[in-house]
Amino acid sequence: MAVLAALLRSGARSRSPLLRRLVQEIRYVERSYVSKPTLKEVVIVSATRTPIGSFLGSLSLLPATKLGSIAIQGAIEKAGIPKEEVKEAYMGNVLQGGEGQAPTRQAVLGAGLPISTPCTTINKVCASGMKAIMMASQSLMCGHQDVMVAGGMESMSNVPYVMNRGSTPYGGVKLEDLIVKDGLTDVYNKIHMGSCAENTAKKLNIARNEQDAYAINSYTRSKAAWEAGKFGNEVIPVTVTVKGQPDVVVKEDEEYKRVDFSKVPKLKTVFQKENGTVTAANASTLNDGAAALVLMTADAAKRLNVTPLARIVGS
């Protein structure tokens, strides 16, 4: 307080923009950490996602940032609030090669939010989207913001191949797939995620037939849910435009339609040829898609007359 008082006295003699900014920052810190010591209640008011496209499938022409824009815009529209109410955005994104600078900012501006909206891209590998939501909820709890957007976006179909910069050596150069290098390989031990799954299966004694049965059940439940209209309230249709051709509207997940259950038990293992358990059918698939949530403090929900879907009790 003494520092602020001194700055205010000096401010009477100076109209320096830097001084005014410093005073604003000090007041912000005091407001956040001194006058409001208790954590705020945080609620989720909307949650939407795009359909999940197969690798090189129906959504492969759209970059992750475009898919993110669609999810963000859908979440805000579903929440029924003005875009200007969103004070900040966090989006998880792992495979950023070739996307351009600041992917989350691209997604946010593509969704029509103000250019002044602060944006941060989170990379925590498989947990990136979840971490983005956790960080947003923590910011809201601490009173830094009162309305935020958070989620995740990925387009594995658009991840590039790369090669090292420098003179071309004798014998040619080697291209590396950034899906494998940046997304699916443990950088410390150079172990593929599929090999980690094999190690886990052995450690926990999970047999191949159990994994196959689990995968088949998962696809079966997904199909049943789509047929029952369970995903209608959360999925935002995506329009794919191809020059010289009619627009294609993608409304449903793609992967469950491509599975032939009769072939699942017959597939060869991928990562361990002898006594392996992980196949292309029972492993995680390569996909394209995005999801976004609108989170806010309970006070903001009352102010905006929004009905919460859920309350965050820990992050």
DSSP letter at 183 equals: I
For residue 12, count other CB atoms closer than 10 A to its CB.
7
Query: Quick one: angle between helices 64-79 and 103-110, nearest 10?
Result: 50
Q: Give the span between the Cα atoms of 159 and 64, in whole angstroms.
A: 10
pLDDT confidence of residue 168: 86
Q: Give the span between the Cα atoms of 289 and 6, in whole angstroms.
A: 52
The model carries a pTM of: 0.86
Each residue's pLDDT expressed in tens, for the chain with a length of 315 residues: 555 565 556 655 555 766 766 666 666 666 655 555 699 999 999 999 999 999 999 999 999 999 999 999 999 999 999 999 999 999 999 999 999 999 999 999 999 999 999 999 999 999 999 999 999 999 999 999 999 999 999 999 999 999 998 888 898 889 999 999 999 999 999 999 999 999 999 999 999 999 999 999 999 999 999 999 999 999 999 999 999 999 999 999 999 999 999 999 999 999 999 999 999 999 999 999 999 999 999 999 999 999 999 999 987
pLDDT confidence of residue 123: 99
**Of residues 30, 20, 100, 21, the one with CA closest to residue 68:** 100
In this structure, are strands 161-162 and 147-155 parallel, antiparallel, or unpaired? unpaired
